[in-house]
Structure formats: C-alpha cells, structure tokens
Structure 1
C-alpha cells in the first residue's frame, strides 16, 4: 500500500510521533512521499511575528516564555524536526505552491500513485479532487471523540469544559470539517493531565489508531462508525477570555 503523508512542520509534538508511526508501519505499507505544510496554530496562515503576538495576547506571558524556549530547543534537536525525521528515512518531499487543491499540486501528488493519503495535522481544507487522487481516499487523525469537539485545539476545550474523557478518532476525510465516517475511535480518561500531557498522550495513541486504520483498509474488513452531524459540537481557537475561564476552572497548560 502506497501512502502519502500530509502533515505540517510542527516544532513541538509531531516529529517524534511521526517517527513512531513510521517505525510501526506494517511491511506492506510504504510512505512514498510527503507534503509538509507551514505551521498554522491559529487555523490560518500568518507570519511568525503574528503567531508570536497572538500567542502572547491569548495565553499570557508565562505560556509565551515556556513555549518560546521549547521552540528554540526544538530547533537545536533534530528529533523535533519533522522534515529531518522524514528525510532521514529517504522519503521524498512534494513541494507545493499555495493551496494543495490546485491542479498542478494534485498532479505532483498523483505522480506518486498513492493508495491512501494520511493526514497527520494536515492544516488545509481538502477538496474532492484531492481526496480522489488516492485509491482509498484520505484518512485524518483528530484528537477528540467525534462528532463532539470538531474544529481546533480539542485538548483545550475538553479540559475547559470539564470532560472526564476524551479520545482519538481516525476518519475518512470528506469536504466538511471533521465530518467524515469514522474508522477507528479510542477513548481516553483525562484524569489530572495537563493540556501538554494530554496532547502528548492522545497524539501517541493516535499514531496507533492510524496504523489500525491502515490495517483495516488493507484487509477491506471494517465497519464505519457514524459521525452524526446532529450530535456534533464545533470549537474554534480560544480567546483570552476562554483562557481565563480555563485557568479559573483549575486546569493546567503544563
């Protein structure tokens, strides 16, 4: 099975998880290429300066300092570099211009003859033409129990809202937002985890869930779980007021 990964150059969590994912891939699955998007933590493309300014304004000075130092450390540690992890395994990069759905970008991806697209924090909206490039379409990891908590930063919202459990969902991507039918879902007790620990744990569990999804697609033996739109909730990026409520509820970022 020929896989193309769609991911982003996240400096905090993704590199080690992608390395874990690649090590655990079954022998019949091969990553033939990858697209690495620019990082967009706020759900849209912004300059590095704008990202820094927003992080400070929304999350406050202690958070800004902590993650500023984590960012600098990540630049010095190749284990946190998504491109380095992929390059070390000889996986080709598909360099795209602008939106991934442009015809010229689709042709580049199509040239690798993918059986399946695997989105791991892919941060662009995928249109039907892209989804049809691969024989089996595209699967995506979302670190929440869909149909609840569609959208951005579910780890923040489940803590703020006092949930006792969260989880991961791997689903077939359609043209909606986190709305496609679910292949694998795993429930996780939140306990006293901070947001940082919750992100680390659910992303790692998510890698195993993606591998399980690939195994199911390869065998052709699976039953889809409905991603019921009537039960959905959707959350965008938090505001400064949301962060104050998060902290007032005794929740921790780290």
Structure 2
C-alpha cells in the first residue's frame, strides 16, 4: 500500500509522532512521499510576525515565552523537525506552490501513485479531484470524538468546557470540515491532564489509530461509524476571553 502523507511543519508535536507512525506501519504499507504545508495555527495563512502578535495577545506572556522557547529549541534539534525526520526515513518531499488542489499540484502527488492519502494536521480543505487521486481514499486524524468538536484546537475546547472524555477520530475525508465517515475512534478520560499533556497523549494515540485504519483498509473488513451532522459542534480559534475563562476554570496549558 503506497501512502502519501499530507502534514505541516509543526515544531512541537508532529516530528516524533510521524517518526513513530513510519516505524510502526505494517510491512505492506509504505510512505512514498509527503506534502509538508506551512504551519497555520490560527486556521489561516499569516505572516510569522502576525502569528507572534496573535499568540501573545490571546494566550498571554507566560504561554508566549514558554512556546517561544520551545520553538527556538525545536529549530536547534533536528529530531523535532518534520522534514528532517522524513529525510531520515528516505521519504521524498513533494514541493507544491499555493493551494494543494491546483491541477499542477495534484499531478505532482499523482506521480507517486498513492493508494491512500493520510492527512495529519493537513491545513487545507481538500477538493474531490484531489481526494480521488488515491483509490483507497484519504484519511484524516482529528483529536476529538467526532461529530463533536469539529474545527480548530479541540484540546483547548474540551478542557474549557469541562468535558470528562475526549479521544481521537480517523475518518475518510469528504469535501466538508471534519465531516466524513469515521473508520476508527478511541475514547480517552481527560482526568487532570493539561492541554500540553492531552495533545501529546492523543497525538500518539492518533498514530496508533491510523495504523489500525491501514490494517482495516488492507483487509477490507470494517464498518464505518456515522459522523452524524445533527450531533455536530464546531469551534474556531479561541479569543482572549475564551483563554481567560479557560484559566478561571482552573485548566492548565502545561
């Protein structure tokens, strides 16, 4: 099974998890290429300076300093670099310009003859011609229990809303946002985890769920879980007021 990954150059959590995924995939599955998008933590493309300003304004100085330091340290540690991890495994990068759905970008991906596309923090909306490139479809990892908590930063919202449980969902991508049928879903008790602890835990759990999906797709023996539109909730990026409510509820970022 030939897999093309669609991911982003996240400096905090993704490199070690992609390394884990590639190492743990079954022998019949191989990541043959990867598209690495620019990081877009706020759900849209912004300049690096705008990202810094927005992080400081929304999350405050403590958060800004901690993650600013982690960002700098990640740049000094090759093992925290997604592209370096891919290079270590001999996985070529597919260089694209602009939107992934453009015909010339689809042609570059199609040249690797993917059987399956796998999106991990893929931050563009995929259109039908792209989804149809791979005969086995396109999977996406979402770190929440769909259909609840569609959208951005579910780890923040489940904590702010005092949820007892969260989880991961791996689903077949359609042209909506986190709306396709679910192949594997795993539930997690949140307990007293901070957001950082929850992200770390669910990211690795998500890699295991992707591997389970690959095994199910290879066998052809699976039952899809409905991603019920009538039960959905959707969240965008938090505001400063949301962060204040998060902290007032005794929740922790780290």
Q: What is the TM-score when the length of structure 1 is the normalising length? A: 1.00
Question: Can you give the 5+ residue segments of structure 2 that lack an aligned partner in the other structure?
Answer: none
1:150-229 equivalences under 5 Å are 150-229=150-229
**Counterpart in 2 of 1:247?**
247
Number of residue pairs the alignment of both structures matches: 254
Runs of 4+ in 1 over 3 A off after TM superposition: none
SS at match of 2:70: helix
CA RMSD of aligned residues (A): 0.4
**Counterpart in 2 of 1:108?**
108
1:23-34 equivalences under 5 Å are 23-34=23-34
**Counterpart in 1 of 2:83?**
83
Matched, 1:4 2:4: yes
Question: Can you give the 5+ residue segments of structure 1 that lack an aligned partner in the other structure?
Answer: none
**Counterpart in 1 of 2:37?**
37
Distance 1:84 1:74 in 2: 12
| 1:116 to partner: Cα distance | 0.2
**Counterpart in 1 of 2:71?**
71
Q: Deviations over 1:87-132 (max 9, x none)?
A: 1111111000100000000000001100000001000000000000
Distance 1:98 1:137 in 2: 22
Distance 1:171 1:195 in 2: 23
Distance 1:170 1:36 in 2: 19
**Counterpart in 2 of 1:118?**
118
Q: What is the TM-score when the length of structure 2 is the normalising length? A: 1.00
**Counterpart in 2 of 1:58?**
58
1:111-150 equivalences under 5 Å are 111-150=111-150
